[in-house]
Amino acid sequence: MRISNILKEFREELENLYEKRLKGIILYGSWARGDATEDSDIDVLIVLEGKVIPGKEIDRMIDVITEINLKHGVLISIYPVSEKDYSTINSPLLINVRREGVPA
Task: Identify the segments of the chain with pLDDT beneath 50.
Answer: none
CATH code where residue 24 lies: 3.30.460.10
Domain extent at residue 10: 3-103
Domains identified in the chain, total number: 1
**Residue 20, pLDDT score:** 96
- The secondary structure of 19-79 as a DSSP string is GGGEEEEEEETHHHHT---TT--EEEEEEESS---HHHHHHHHHHHHHHHHHHHT--EEEE
**Residue 95, pLDDT score:** 96
**Residue 38, pLDDT score:** 86
**Residue 81, pLDDT score:** 98
